[in-house]
Amino acid sequence: MQSIPAADILQACETMLRKQLYVVFTKPTNGMGPVMANLKEHLDFQIDLEKRGIMFGAGPFWNDAEDAWEGEGMVVIRAASLAQAKAIADSDPMHKAGARSYTVRPWLLNEGTVTIKLTYSDGKREVI
């Protein structure tokens, strides 16, 4: 597969947002038992990231039938570098306990819109 230098992509979308974010894809390592055993600590960690402005968004992936959760999830975070994003993911109690493994991918947010700020965990909202 041919790759295109990041500088070329940044130039092609120079009028767009070009916000660098990092996506953490996470999945169970040994079934759902360890995931559920670490869920409360994980959710507390996620809410802390949210309150500190590190988290852009997060949540579980449903199965393809959309009727169950098999332990996979995604977290989009703000970080200064890929190394910092990995350090944040490492500090998740779910990953520290070995209940889930993860990969981090850099993501350039270019298109979309935001009309309100909604804090998912407590329902606070703000028009921006």
Tell me what the mean pLDDT of segment 71-93 comes to: 98
Evaluate whether 125 touches 116 at the Cβ level (below 8 Å): yes
d(CA 67, CA 75): 21
Q: Given phi > 0 = left and psi -120 to 50 = alpha, else beta, which region is 7?
A: alpha
**Whole-number percent of the chain with pLDDT over 90:** 83
Taking 80 as the threshold, does the pLDDT of residue 114 lie above it? Answer: no
Give residue limits of the domains in the chain.
Answer: 16-127
Tell me what the mean pLDDT of segment 21-48 comes to: 97
Tell me what the mean pLDDT of segment 83-103 comes to: 98
Nearest CA-CA partner of 101 in 72, 79, 69? 72
Tell me what the mean pLDDT of segment 62-77 comes to: 97
108 confidence band (pLDDT: 50, 70, 90): very high
CATH superfamily, region 16-127: Dimeric alpha+beta barrel (3.30.70.1060)
Tell me what the mean pLDDT of segment 94-104 comes to: 98
